[in-house]
Amino acid sequence: MYEVLLAGGTASGKSTVARELERLGARRIDLDQVSRDVCAVGSEVCRRLAEAFGADVLDPRTGELDRALLARRAFSSEESTRELEAIELPAIGEELARRVRTAGDGVVVVEVPLLDRVEDMLYDVDEVVCVTCPLEVRRRRACGRGMDPADFDRRVAHQPSDEYLRAHADTVLDNSGDEEALVARVGAWWEERERAGWPRGGWARGCWRRA
């Protein structure tokens, strides 16, 4: 297995990169999807979210999580974002480890919105790839697909900066150009590793890994 952490902030272009890697043959795990799965109706995570953020974050009839309401409350301050993460991250970490264990051979790409929060979850990855893009361009792209600008700003305020990502990445993919340029860069990235036989940790600078 060759395991890649693919990190980037809101609307940086992670999914565009991950889709292309999937097309080339990688298996894809999206931490946002894992975080939705651990909030399934009736889960312990949902029960604790309702306790911390108000019973009305769960639909009284179906038990379904009102994600927009929870997002407004949880991203309103540093403290409430930490509280959200204290409830969800351990469950996300467990489920992620399970999915990686059962992913089989080949290339596995894990899409990570918050690289700084996963360092304790996974440390023997082969490569950390970050997608970066100027904040204004990301805001424009996020709003272009229907995100409220205030919601974008609230979330980004709690995310690692591009400077942090660049400092922790083995490979940086700049996405300030068009999608075609990004996809071409991904193709070149894949080809280079394919030619080298996907050597485990072959491109790692290892600056953030534990021994």
Ligand X SMILES: Nc1ncnc2c1ncn2[C@@H]1O[C@H](COP(=O)(O)OP(=O)(O)OP(=O)(O)O)[C@@H](O)[C@H]1O
Give yes or no for residue 57 binding ligand COD (CB under 6 A): no
Report the alpha-carbon distance of residue 19 to residue 200 in Å, rounded.
22
**From 84, 107, 109, 125, residue interacting with ligand COD (rule: CB under 6 A):** 84
Query: Phi then psi for 109, rounded to 5 degrees?
Result: -115, 125
User: Cα separation of 129 and 138, whole Å?
Assistant: 18
Dist. CA 187–CA 181, nearest whole Å:
10
Binding flag, residue 12, ligand X (CB under 6 A): yes
Q: Is 106 annotated as a binding residue?
A: no
Q: Choose the one of ligand X, ligand COD, none that binds residue 114, judging by a C-beta under 5 to 8 angstroms depending on kind.
A: ligand COD
Q: Beta strands of 76-137 (E only): which ranges?
A: 107-112, 127-132
Residue 121 corresponds to which tokens in the numbers above? 């979850």
Binding mask 14-53 for ligand X (x = CB under 6 A): xxx-------------------------------------
- For residue 199, the minimal CB distance to ligand COD (Å) is 27
- Does position 113 interact with ligand X (CB under 6 A)? The reply is yes
